[in-house]
Amino acid sequence: MIERHPGVPDHFLVLERRASFADYARAYGDALAERYENHGVIVLPHVPVQFDHAYVRALVFPPQWKKIGTRNGIERPFVVRDGEQFAFAEDHPLLPLFGSVKAALYLQQQIVAFNTQLREGLRLLFPQYLSLAEGNITWRFTETVEEGLHLDVFKGGAPLSARERSTHRLKIFVNIDAAPRRWRTSLDLPAVLKACRARLPRELPDDVNVVNDIIDKLGALQQLPAHSIAYPALSAVIANGETLAHEVVYGRRVIGGEFGCHKADMLMPGALSHDCLRGWLEEAGYAVAPDAAAQAAKYAHLKGSYARVLEARAKPARS
Instruction: Evaluate whether residue 266 is within a structural domain.
Output: yes
SS3 content of the chain, % helix, strand, coil (to 5): 35, 25, 40
Instruction: Report, in angstroms and rounded to the nearest whole number, the Rg of the chain calculated over CA atoms.
Output: 20
Predicted local distance difference test score (pLDDT) of residue 313: 53
For residue 317, pLDDT beyond 70:
no
Q: What is the signed CA dihedral for 288, 292, 294, 298, rounded to 10 degrees?
A: 80
Q: Is residue 318 part of a domain?
A: no
80 in any annotated domain: no
Domain of 68 in residue numbering reads as 16-73+106-313
Dihedral pair phi/psi, residue 111, rounded to 5°: -60, -50
| Element containing residue 213 per DSSP (H, E) | helix 208-217
Q: Are 301 and 156 in contact (CB under 8 A)?
A: no
pLDDT in tens, 292-303: 999 999 888 887
The domain tally of the chain equals 1
Give a yes or no: residue 229 inside a domain: yes
Judge whether 94 lies within some domain. no
Is the pLDDT assigned to residue 312 strictly greater than 80?
Answer: no
- Residue-wise pLDDT for 175-208, tens only, equals 999 999 999 999 999 999 999 999 999 999 999 9
Residue 318 banded pLDDT, cuts 50, 70, 90:
very low
- 20 within domain boundaries: yes
Nearest to 292 by CA among 211, 190, 193, 189: 211
Residue 84 lies in a domain: no
Whichever domain contains 58, its CATH number is 2.60.120
Pairing mode of beta strands 203-205, 85-88: unpaired
In a domain, 90, yes or no: no
Q: Among 145, 157, 194, which residue's Cα sits nearest to residue 297? A: 157
211 vs 104: CA distance, rounded Å: 41
| Distances 285 to 223, 242, 281, 315 between C-alpha atoms, Å | 21, 21, 6, 39
Complete DSSP assignment for 236-299:
EEE--TTTEEEEEEEES-EEEEEEEEEGGGSSSGGG-HHHHHHHHHHHTT-EEES-HHHHHHHT
